[in-house]
Amino acid sequence: MVRAFVREFVIFGVKQANACLFAGALLAAILVTHWWYPVPGLLRYDFLFLFALALQVILLVTRLESLREAAVIVVFHLLATGMEWFKTSDAIRAWQYPEPFRLGFLNVPFFAGFMYSAVGSYIARVWKIFEFRFSHYPPRWPTVVVALLIYANFFTHHLIWDLRWGLFFVVVVLYGRVWIYFKVAETYRRMPLLMGWFLVAMFVWFAENLGTYAKVWLYPNQKAGWELVPVTKLAAWLLLLILSFVLVSLVRKPEPMTTSGDNQ
């Protein structure tokens, strides 16, 4: 029993590492270039953009990512970049990129969108690697509507009301009964989808702390010196994660879990 548990735990870790290839490599580059950057004549942010672009090409060439998955990730990249332009504008200044760059627009270096693409890439790859199945997954149209409302709220909460708690209520109503099934080895395991999203959001929040520690971007309270990103940011990452999940679901149809395969 213990041996079987250890084996499955190791397989789970290896598969997760595989799914995190893009995100892990990008985070490693962010940290390494903070401590050691030996590329004279090329600004750090510009290097990170070229590095992320090369990673994306490698995933496509090696067929670790399909063209359809990449197209959805590009859409997420563009949506996130639009949000970045708004959030870093002089009127909002929710966060800032403290270093100079040439490859960028307004206050945002082009590599910033790839940090969101890393989330999309992870979801697309983990979906395929663990052969996701679902029970009680809602119809497509309400999930898309909620995703659009989530995206809109990232802008409108600076101007009118913050609807995030209302959105969380709708998300719980919509996805509260959904279980996600994932194949680790030969057997499918399961957990509530909401719990899975929360766990991934925690890891993204942890990565965000590493990113701000490496001074890739800074929140206003971190200008005088680094401090932990508030745990309340988990709410924003959870909403953004749901948006990314819905986008990936447009090309990877949520398959139902059959009774014969329900051997969790």
Residues 189-214 pLDDT 10s: 999 999 999 999 999 999 999 999 99
Q: How many domains does the chain have?
A: 1
Residue 132 carries which DSSP code? -
Residues 136-189 pLDDT 10s: 999 999 999 999 999 999 888 878 888 889 999 999 999 999 999 999 888 889
Mean pLDDT of the region 33-53: 91
Residues 111-120 pLDDT 10s: 888 888 888 8
pLDDT at residue 224 above 90? no
Helix (H/G/I), strand (E/B), else coil: 174:
helix
What is d(CA 118, CA 235) in angstroms, rounded to the nearest whole number?
A: 19
Helix H or strand E segment including 264? none
Mean pLDDT of the region 67-72: 81
Looking at per-residue pLDDT, the higher value among 168 and 77 belongs to 168
Q: Is 259 within a domain?
A: no
- Please, which residues bridge with residue 144 across strands? none
Q: Is 8 within a domain?
A: no
> Where residue 259 falls among pLDDT bands split at 50, 70, 90?
low
Q: Is 105 within a domain?
A: yes
Please name the amino acid found at residue 106: L
Look at residue 47 in the predicted model and tell me its pLDDT: 95
* Contact of 107 with 89, CB cutoff 8 Å: yes
* Contact of 59 with 116, CB cutoff 8 Å: no
Helix H or strand E segment including 259? none
pLDDT at residue 260 above 60? no
Q: At what angle do helices 112-129 and 44-61 cross, to 10 degrees?
A: 30
Q: At what angle do helices 21-35 and 44-61 cross, to 10 degrees?
A: 160
Look at residue 39 in the predicted model and tell me its pLDDT: 85
Residues whose CB is less than 8 angstroms from the CB of residue 103 and which lie 6 or more positions away in sequence, other chains included: 45, 46, 49, 50, 109, 110, 111
Q: Give me the DSSP letters along 195-246.
A: HHHHHHHHHHHHHHHHHHHTTSSB-GGGSSS--PPPTTHHHHHHHHHHHHHH
Look at residue 103 in the predicted model and tell me its pLDDT: 93
Q: Is 7 within a domain?
A: no
Mean pLDDT of the chain: 88
* C-alpha atoms less than 13 angstroms from C-alpha of 151 in its C-beta half-sphere: 21
Most confident stretch, 12-21, 91-100, 102-111, 170-179: 170-179
Q: Is 4 within a domain?
A: no
* Contact of 112 with 84, CB cutoff 8 Å: yes
**Domain span including residue 138:** 15-249
pLDDT at residue 239 above 80? yes
Sheet of 188-192, strands arranged across:
133-135, 179-183, 188-192
Look at residue 78 in the predicted model and tell me its pLDDT: 87
Please name the amino acid found at residue 146: V
Look at residue 15 in the predicted model and tell me its pLDDT: 92
Q: Is 6 within a domain?
A: no
What is d(CA 119, CA 100) in angstroms, rounded to the nearest whole number?
A: 25
